Amino acid sequence: MTKIGILLGSLRKESFSRKIASNVAALFPEGYEAEFVEIGKLALYNQDFDDENNVPEEYISFRNKMKEIDAVLFVTPEYNRSVPAVLKNALDVGSRPYGASVWNGKPSAIISQSPGNLSGFGANHHLRQSLVFLNMPLVQQPEAYIGNVVGLLDEKGKIKDERTVQFLQTFVDAFVDLIRKHQA
DSSP one-letter code for 108: E
CA 63 to chain CA centroid, Å, is: 15
Report pLDDT digits (tens) over 41-90.
999 999 999 999 999 999 999 999 999 999 999 999 998 899 999 999 99
Question: What pTM did the predictor assign?
Answer: 0.96
- Residue 119: pLDDT band with limits 50, 70, 90: confident
pLDDT of residue 124: 94
Flag whether pLDDT at 117 surpasses 90: no
CA distance 74 to 163: 21
Q: What's the confidence (pLDDT) of residue 70?
A: 98
| 99: confidence class by pLDDT, cuts 50, 70, 90 | very high
Residue 115's pLDDT band (boundaries 50, 70, 90)?
A: confident
- Cis amide leading into 97 (omega within 30): yes
Residues ≥6 apart with Cβ < 8 Å to 48: 54
pLDDT tops 90 at residue 184:
no
Residue 139, class by beta-carbon neighbours within 10 Å (0-12 exposed, 13-18 middle, 19+ buried)? buried
SS3 at position 66 = helix
**What is the share, in percent, of the chain residues with pLDDT greater than 90?**
92
- Stated as kind and residue range, the H or E segment containing 183 is helix 162-183
| 2-183 is classed CATH 3.40.50.360 | yes
Q: Which of 5, 12, 141 is nearest to 66 (CA)?
A: 5
Q: Name the strands in the sheet holding 2-8, side by side, starting at the edge strand that comes first in the sequence.
A: 32-36, 2-8, 71-76, 108-113, 144-146
Q: How many percent of the chain have pLDDT more than 70?
A: 100
Query: 28 with 35: CB under 8 angstroms?
Result: no
Tell me the C-alpha distance between 94 and 96, whole Å.
6
As a whole number, mean pLDDT of residues 149-170 equals 95
